[in-house]
Amino acid sequence: MLKYTLKRFVYMVMTLFVIASITFFLMKLLPGGPYQNPERITPEVKAAFDAKYGLDDPIPVQYVNFIKNLLQGDLGMSFKYANRQVTDIIADTFPNSALIGFEAVIFGTVFGLLFGIIAALKRGSFIDYSVIIIATIGVAVPSFVLGAILQYVFGVQLKILPVATWGSFAHTVLPSLTLGALVVATIARLMRTSMLDVLSSDFLKTAKSKGLNTGTIIWRHAIRNALIPVVTILATLTMALITGSLVVERIFAVPGMGDYFVTTIYTNDYTLTMGITLFYSALYIFSIFLTDVAYGLIDPRIRVAGRKE
């Protein structure tokens, strides 16, 4: 198991290295440079700027320097946000994104599972169809529409929740709901399908014929087995949500890092783009690792298989 984990760790680092390299070269393909004022920068000032930050070195030289710094754990300073370390910017904004992300995941998972289970148990009923319809809408309606509607209804018209900005728990409710809607829909659909699958399987029929009571069957056998596909997506879904959503953060003026995924690319802020990409990748890879561990906990068969290796 230790050897297995170590091996996986090495793969993780290698994956990150490949991601960093690809990101580096992709960014160098972008037109322009990390100038604040690209429209008016004079050639003389541009030359001085490039010289200062080594941007006029040949690309391979820049790449080697970049990797050297990276190996020392130095992500550097943002080009746009003067004198601010990339790590500081992530440390400032990530907790806000993560808070909303976690709230969305909790809200989405609880309601998603609930809806999914009920729909599966009452298959073909009114409740089932309602859940399917809600889930379809949840997946189909983009967050900028849902966000705008929630903001207008609860913020501007009813005035029960803050329209936007940041500060208290109340401020997190609407963005979390907006973000969570997709989670509810995704998980409800998945759970329903997976439950139906399990409910019609042979071992469940056996359990029923053995005379176990329905509660035990559903709880111990059906739900537990049906959860596996949900867990598979849950970890990666969580990582995607806690790193922030550009749209939701803009609509509700959340000081998170979602915005940086896009804006840093527009401004060619090489260091910040790199830092955020690596941070996200690391989280993502880590979440895949967690998924594997979680499998084992839920399904002993996978744990056994893992041990054999």
Partner 1 sequence: MKKKSFLLLLSVVMVLSVALAGCGGGTENTATNGEGSKPTEDQSTAKQNVSSGGDEGEAQLDAEQVLHVYEGAEPPELDSAKSTDAVSFEVLNAVMAGLTRIDETGNPVPEMAEDWDVSDDGKTYTFHLRDAKWSNGEPVTANDFKFAWMRAINAENASQYAFIFTDYIKNAEGYFNWTAYQLDPDKYMEDHDEVPEEVKAEDVGIKVIDDKTLEVELVAPTPYFTSLTAFPVYLPINEDFFTQAGDKYGTEDDQLIYNGPFLLTEWQHEKGWVYKKNPDYWDADTVKLEKVIVDVIKDPNTALNLYEAGDLDLAPVPPEQVPLYQEDPNYFTWTDLAHFYLVFNQDINNYQGPNPEVIKALANAKVRKAISLALDRQGHADIVLNNGSLPAYGFVPYGIRGFREANGDLFQDDPEQAKQLLEEGLQEAGVAVEDFKTIRYLTGDSESARKTAEFLKENLRSTLGIELDIQQVTFQERLKRSREGNFDLVLSGWGPDYNDPMTFMDLFVTDGPYNDGGYSNQEFDDLIKNAKVESDPEKRMQMMMDAEKILIAEDMAVAPLYFRANANLLRPYVKELHFHGIGPSREYKWTYISGKNQ
Cα 306 from Cα 309, distance rounded (Å): 5
Question: What is residue 276's DSSP assignment?
Answer: H
Complex with partner 1: residue 18 or 48, whichever CB lies closer: 48
Residue placing its CB nearer to partner 1 in the complex, 89 or 191:
89
Nearer to partner 1, 83 or 213 (CB): 83
Shortest distance, position 78 Cβ to partner 1, whole Å: 8
Give the span between the Cα atoms of 281 and 128, in whole angstroms: 37
Minimum gap (Å) between residue 79 Cβ and partner 1: 9
Task: Indicate the residue among 66 and 252 with the shorter CB distance to partner 1.
Answer: 252
Chain residues binding partner 1 by CB under 8 A are: 30-32, 35-45, 47-49, 51-53, 56, 80-84, 89, 92-93, 96, 148, 151-152, 155-156, 159, 162-166, 249-253, 255-256, 259, 266, 268
Smallest distance from the beta carbon of 86 to partner 1, in angstroms? 13
CB of 168 or CB of 200, closer to partner 1: 168
Contact 150, 177 (CB under 8 A): yes
Nearest approach in angstroms of CB 43 to partner 1 is 6
- Closest CB to partner 1 among residues 26, 305: 26
Rounded CA separation 283/295 (Å): 18
Q: How far apart are CA 16 and CA 279, in angstroms?
A: 10
81: its two tokens: 């946000």
Q: Of the two residues 122 and 250, which places its CB atom closer to partner 1 in the complex?
A: 250
Alpha helices in the chain, H assignment, sequence order: 2-29, 43-53, 59-71, 86-121, 126-140, 143-150, 169-199, 202-209, 214-216, 224-242, 246-251, 260-266, 270-298, 300-308
CB 302 within 8 A of CB 225: no
Calculate the CA dihedral of residues 211, 214, 219, 220 and round it to 10 degrees: 0
In whole angstroms, give the CA distance from residue 83 to residue 98: 25
